[in-house]
Structure 1
Amino acid sequence: MKKTKCLIVDDEPAAHYVLQNYIKQNPQLELVHQCYNGIEALNYLRSNSVDLMFLDIDMPEITGLELLATLPDPPTTILTTAYSEFALKSYDFGVFDYLLKPIFLPRFIKSVERFLASQKVETASDICSSFLVKVDGAMVEIDFQDVLFAQSYGNYVKIFCFKKIYVASITTSELESLLNTNNFMRIHKSYIVAIDKIKSFDKNNILIGEETIPIGITYKRALSDKLKSE
């Protein structure tokens, strides 16, 4: 598997520590270099290429946006900053995403997953075959094909697979954004199911494996339309 080469550009060591830790937990990412100001980044990028740059805006000498304006062909960039007022202006520079500090892991994962899905560095099946969630403090990779359904569980989500149940540190909405919407669907405020794993259904419930799962009133029409199209 070809890894995505990442560069961190930030004048704060604490920001480097957070991003370095997040990148390390993702097997599809590789941190190849770290810069502490825009001049260092400019010099590095003159002779090196990266796939993804995590770039702070407010830095001494030249700002992150000034760096982007200087580079003739900047890498795909995710801005990282504590100042939300730069958000709208930043998209004039063609940035991929904008992460507001403090950066929390679920938001980082969502941004990176969107980036990976947009790239053509691997076959479509490789890109979309799995997703990452945090379980017991560690990142776990789960194959889409192994998932039966997911259930809200307080501040966590239980992900039911063929051989194991994972209790992931993520919200149901965040998990929904990671899953392939062609085969996964929210059928209740507390449940997301794999459409191809449904054994049977009636107007109030579906059966997946040995589990009977309720269908929420607001989701009945959409689910019925989806199952008819399958």
Structure 2
Amino acid sequence: MTNPIQCLLVDDKPLALDILADYVAQVPALHLAGSSQNPVEALNWVEERRIELIFLDIQMPQLTGLQFLQALNRRAQVVLTTAYAEHALTGFEHDVIDYLLKPIPFERFYQAVEKAQRRLRPTPAETSRPYLFIKTEHRMQRVNLAEVLYLEGLQNYVLIHTATEKLLARQTISSLEASLPVAGFVRVHKSFIVALAHIHIVERSRIFIRVAAGEPRIIPVGDAYRSAFYGRL
């Protein structure tokens, strides 16, 4: 049986923590490693308790959720929880798994857990499946992963660049990333995911993607993603 995901709850309101703790108890895939009203304390727990997933409030007095994300520096995956919708785009720029608006229904919480599972505990079928289906403007379209060169985030859309065409998916880049096989793709920038098989040259903070004809495509490597990217190489 797969080990449960070690999760941490961070919110300055005790009632919000109680609700989330009750939700976690209902999901066998999760194990509650801790909960805290103090985000500074929670940051210290990330290393001590080997936290994998954090349910994080945005509006907190000592440290906002967005400041917490910057300090966390991608050491754990994050689901944001908040009563305010205006920070959603900023949250996804920090590569959060999901963004839950309070009051959070259990069904919506469970959807976020499923996304986290796909990223943290991918099944053999998910890691080896050679295709995915994307949401376009009016339909679902199959994309063969072997043909994908890179993905480019455009706010609430993703432009998928293949060897022969460009496809516009009605998804955020973070939600689409959760569907990609971890072994074949790597996030290198808040707006770009590249296929490892198509990387031709890496030069400082630039990636050159091989194409069949014409000049190679050049993809930037963001500062926040550089260490993880070079680790994958």
* TM-score, with length taken from structure 1: 0.51
Residue type of the alignment partner of 1:81: T
Alignment partner, residue 82 of structure 2: 81
- Cα deviation for residue 63 of structure 1 reads 0.6
1:115 has 2:122 as partner: no
SS of 1:50's equivalent in the other structure is coil
Once the two structures are superposed, residues 109-151 of structure 1 have per-residue CA deviations (whole angstroms, 9 ceiling, x without a partner) of: 11111221233465448xxxxxxxxxxxxxxxxxxxxxxxxxx
Indicate the RMSD between aligned Cα atoms, in angstroms. 1.7
Alignment partner, residue 199 of structure 1: none
Alignment partner, residue 10 of structure 1: 11
* CA distance in structure 2 between the partners assigned to 1:45 and 1:105 by the alignment: 25
SS of 2:91's equivalent in the other structure is helix
1:21 has 2:22 as partner: yes
**Count, aligned residues:** 125
Alignment partner, residue 42 of structure 2: 41
**Computing the radius of gyration over CA atoms, which structure comes out larger, 1 or 2?**
1
SS of 1:91's equivalent in the other structure is helix
**After the TM superposition, which residues 55-66 of structure 1 pair with which residues of structure 2 at under 5 Å, given as runs?**
55-66=56-67
SS of 2:87's equivalent in the other structure is helix
User: In structure 2, do the counterparts of structure 1 residues 72 and 110 end up closer, same or farther at CA, with 3 Å as the change threshold?
Assistant: closer
SS of 2:50's equivalent in the other structure is coil
SS of 2:115's equivalent in the other structure is helix
* CA distance in structure 2 between the partners assigned to 1:20 and 1:120 by the alignment: 21
**After the TM superposition, which residues 125-140 of structure 1 pair with which residues of structure 2 at under 5 Å, given as runs?**
none
Residue type of the alignment partner of 1:51: E
Runs (5+) with no aligned partner, structure 1 = 126-230
Once the two structures are superposed, residues 46-103 of structure 1 have per-residue CA deviations (whole angstroms, 9 ceiling, x without a partner) of: 4332111000000011111101101233311000000111111111211110000000
Once the two structures are superposed, residues 194-218 of structure 1 have per-residue CA deviations (whole angstroms, 9 ceiling, x without a partner) of: xxxxxxxxxxxxxxxxxxxxxxxxx
Alignment partner, residue 68 of structure 1: 69
- Asked if the contact 2:85–2:101 (Cα under 8 Å) also holds between the matched residues in 1, the reply is yes
Runs (5+) with no aligned partner, structure 2 = 127-233
- Asked if the contact 1:68–1:74 (Cα under 8 Å) also holds between the matched residues in 2, the reply is no
User: In structure 2, do the counterparts of structure 1 residues 49 and 29 end up closer, same or farther at CA, with 3 Å as the change threshold?
Assistant: same
Alignment partner, residue 213 of structure 1: none
- Asked if the contact 2:79–2:97 (Cα under 8 Å) also holds between the matched residues in 1, the reply is yes
- Asked if the contact 1:82–1:102 (Cα under 8 Å) also holds between the matched residues in 2, the reply is yes
* CA distance in structure 2 between the partners assigned to 1:117 and 1:46 by the alignment: 22
* CA distance in structure 1 between the partners assigned to 2:94 and 2:112 by the alignment: 17
Residue type of the alignment partner of 1:43: N
**After the TM superposition, which residues 55-204 of structure 1 pair with which residues of structure 2 at under 5 Å, given as runs?**
55-120=56-121, 123-124=124-125
SS of 1:85's equivalent in the other structure is coil
SS of 1:84's equivalent in the other structure is coil
User: In structure 2, do the counterparts of structure 1 residues 35 and 85 end up closer, same or farther at CA, with 3 Å as the change threshold?
Assistant: same
